[in-house]
């Protein structure tokens, strides 16, 4: 009802104000009725933030609004057909791409007025390959994208440095390789594993990022493995305690560009900034909102986001990453006598508080005497989270940020585009057998 926007907005504000008043009234009645138990309800306080008045423009070379449906459809078909005909083992290719522009207006009673616009463009490729001798399908999928215009997939302006046609062919070639590969062996004792940046980025997201969302750590939102191995309660946390090797530094930073997850202000008007979760192996800090920052007597760090104005914001990741080290990735592999090199990621399986995990790479290579050998399919890297991070003994200088189009949180589910980052890493883990 855009033509009546002002009256609709005024009505919505009045409704929200009345709901807040009635909610506070009911809570006060509960406190008065139930004595000590009622004291578990605390008044909401919000940490202070500056008043901001700013317009933030989108970045693009090819404006998504100028891309016709035929242009993007033809390009997607070209990429899918190219991948499908790249090898006789490729039996099926599905490809989805989108490009768009999003504008958000934020105003507050504090006096902030923020107008932010972002572009987003990405493509997801799904490939099935079957080898006539193995007769077992190998399926892979992956996403590429950036907070840019259509150039992100047309010209390869993304982390992979490939346009959508090239990217689809790369995933198809991996699927073909897997279709010929034997199942990964079972390794029941910790062995040396080298993870590529793509897989490390998922570890940053799943094992560090999600449990560093303070609403999850405080058990305000606990859907989908939604608790935290960094906090049992406000008096029992891992802050200041060792959770990883002294080489390990991890952060979330909405100001980093290169994939998804970039913004200048969150949905409370809080300026975005980097928050370190882990410094030199010690747990440091959580992503927060104004409310949770006030509870922890901390400064808001700009991670309160909602899918749209119809839902309540949640504390969300932006660009969550493990910081780079200083070693050459090739040297990290060459120093391994016996182990495995794990490339890319598939579906993770994670415990309730994310204190242990099984995460499947796309490819697993055997390492013998510093050289890559046999490739395996369907194996999973598994370990206790703290033991794994404590065992890190090398981090590469090849830091990359990857676009993730579908980070889900909350009930009802809110799905958000985020970035994940990391370098090559070497650690100890077990391998669960491929099927």
The CATH number of whichever domain residue 103 belongs to comes to 3.30.2290.10
Other CB atoms within a 10 A radius of the CB of residue 141 amount to 16
Task: Give the integer Cα–Cα distance in Å for 8 and 163.
Answer: 43
Do 336 and 361 sit in the same domain of this protein? yes
Is the pLDDT confidence value at 288 over 70? yes
Domain-ending residue, one of 147, 179, 211: 179
Q: How many domains does one find in the chain?
A: 2
pTM: 0.94
Look at residue 356 and tell me whether its pLDDT is greater than 90. yes
Tell me if 34 is assigned to some domain.
Answer: no
Helix, strand, coil percentages in the chain from 3-state DSSP, rounded to 5:
25, 35, 40
Please report the pLDDT score of residue 95 as a whole number.
98
Question: How would you class 357 by CB atoms within 10 Å of its CB: exposed for 0-12, middle for 13-18, buried for 19 or more?
Answer: buried
> Does residue 349 share a domain with residue 220?
yes
276 and 376 share one domain: yes
Q: Smallest Cα–Cα separation from 176: which of 411, 362, 407?
A: 362
The predicted model gives 301-329 an average pLDDT of 96
Contact of 410 with 314, CB cutoff 8 Å: yes
Asked whether residue 69 falls in the same domain as residue 207, the answer is: no
Residues 336, 217 share a domain = yes
Residue 424: what are its φ and ψ, rounded to 5°?
A: -60, 140
The answer to whether residues 357 and 421 belong to one domain is yes
**10 within a domain of the structure (yes/no):** no
Cα–Cα distances (Å) from 57 to 52, 71, 257, in that order, read: 15, 25, 14
Prior bond of 412 cis (ω within 30°): yes
Q: Worst-scoring range by mean pLDDT, 8-12, 277-281, 336-340?
A: 8-12
In a domain, 4, yes or no: no
Tell me if residue 80 falls in helix, strand or coil. Answer: helix
Domain boundary among 130, 153, 179: 179
The pLDDT of residue 245 is above 90: yes
Torsion sign, CA atoms 238, 241, 247, 249: positive
Same domain, 150 and 234: no
Give the residue from 163, 179, 195 where a domain finishes. Answer: 179
> What is the pairing mode between strands 338-343 and 319-322?
unpaired
Are 299 and 213 part of one and the same domain? yes
Question: pLDDT (tens digit, 9 = 90+) per residue, 123-152?
Answer: 999 999 999 887 789 999 999 999 999 999
Contact 52, 269 (CB under 8 A): yes
The answer, yes or no, to whether residue 29 has pLDDT greater than 80, is yes
Residues in the chain: 435
Q: Same domain, yes or no, for 165 and 202?
A: no
Residues 167 and 242 occupy one common structural domain: no
- The pLDDT value recorded for residue 225 is 78
User: Is residue 285 pLDDT above 70, yes or no?
Assistant: yes
Cβ atoms < 10 Å from Cβ of 79? 23
Q: What is the pLDDT of residue 93?
A: 98
Quick check: is 159 in a domain? yes
Q: Which of 25-34, 124-133, 313-322 has the lowest mean pLDDT?
A: 25-34
What is the per-residue pLDDT for 223? 85
- Model confidence pLDDT, tens digit, residues 183-211: 999 999 999 999 999 999 999 999 999 99
Closest C-alpha among 315, 290, 305, 295 to residue 214: 315
Q: Is 40 domain-assigned?
A: no
Instruction: Say if 19 falls within a structural domain.
Output: no
268, 290 in Cβ contact below 8 A?
yes
pLDDT of amino acid 222: 87
Regarding whether 208 and 171 lie in a shared domain, the answer is no
Shared domain check, 144 and 237: no
3-state secondary structure 165-221: HHHHHHHHHHHHHHHCCCECCCEEEEEEEEECHHHHHHHHHHHHHHHHEHHHHCCCC
Determine which of 31-40, 164-173, 354-363, 419-428 has the lowest per-residue pLDDT on average. Answer: 31-40
In a domain, 24, yes or no: no
Assess if residue 369 is contained within a domain.
yes
**Predicted confidence band at 1 (pLDDT cuts at 50, 70, 90)?**
low
Domain region containing 234:
187-432
């Amino acid at each position: 009802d855009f033509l009546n926007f002002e009256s609709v907005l005024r009505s919505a504000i009045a409704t929200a104000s009345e709901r807040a008043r009635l909610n506070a009234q009911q809570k006060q009645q509960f406190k008065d009725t139930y004595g000590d138990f009622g004291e578990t309800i605390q008044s909401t306080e919000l940490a202070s933030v500056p008043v901001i008045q700013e317009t933030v423009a989108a970045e693009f070379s090819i404006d998504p609004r100028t891309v016709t449906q035929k242009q993007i459809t033809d390009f997607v078909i070209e990429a899918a057909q190219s991948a499908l005909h790249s090898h006789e083992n490729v039996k099926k290719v599905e490809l989805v791409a989108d490009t768009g522009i999003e504008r958000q207006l934020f105003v507050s009673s504090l006096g902030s007025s923020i107008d932010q616009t972002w572009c987003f463009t990405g493509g997801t490729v799904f490939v099935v390959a079957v080898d006539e001798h193995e007769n077992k399908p190998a399926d892979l999928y992956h996403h590429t994208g950036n907070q840019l215009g259509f150039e992100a997939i047309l010209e390869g302006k993304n982390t992979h440095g490939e346009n959508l046609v090239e990217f689809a062919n790369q995933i198809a070639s991996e699927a073909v390789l897997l279709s010929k590969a034997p199942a990964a062996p079972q390794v029941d004792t910790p062995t040396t594993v080298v993870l590529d940046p793509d897989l490390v980025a998922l570890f940053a997201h799943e094992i560090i990022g999600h449990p560093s969302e303070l609403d999850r750590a405080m058990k305000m939102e606990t859907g989908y493995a939604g608790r935290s191995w960094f906090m049992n309660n406000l008096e029992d946390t891992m802050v200041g305690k060792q959770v990883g090797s002294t080489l390990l530094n991890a952060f979330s930073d909405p100001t980093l560009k290169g994939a998804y997850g970039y913004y200048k202000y969150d949905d409370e008007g809080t300026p975005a900034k980097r928050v370190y979760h882990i410094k030199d192996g010690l747990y440091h800090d959580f992503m927060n909102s104004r409310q949770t920052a006030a509870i922890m007597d901390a400064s808001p760090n700009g991670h309160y986001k909602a899918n749209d104005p119809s839902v309540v914001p949640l504390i969300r990741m932006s660009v969550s990453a493990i910081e780079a080290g200083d070693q050459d990735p090739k040297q990290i592999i060459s120093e391994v006598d016996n182990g495995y090199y794990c490339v890319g990621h598939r579906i993770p399986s994670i415990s309730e508080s994310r204190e242990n995990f099984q995460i499947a790479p796309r490819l697993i290579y055997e390492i013998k005497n510093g050289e890559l050998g046999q490739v395996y399919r369907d194996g999973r890297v598994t370990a206790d989270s703290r033991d794994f991070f404590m065992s890190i003994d090398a981090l590469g200088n090849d830091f990359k940020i990857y676009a993730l189009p579908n980070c889900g949180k909350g009930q009802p589910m809110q799905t958000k585009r985020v970035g994940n980052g990391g370098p090559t890493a070497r650690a100890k883990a077990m391998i669960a057998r491929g099927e």
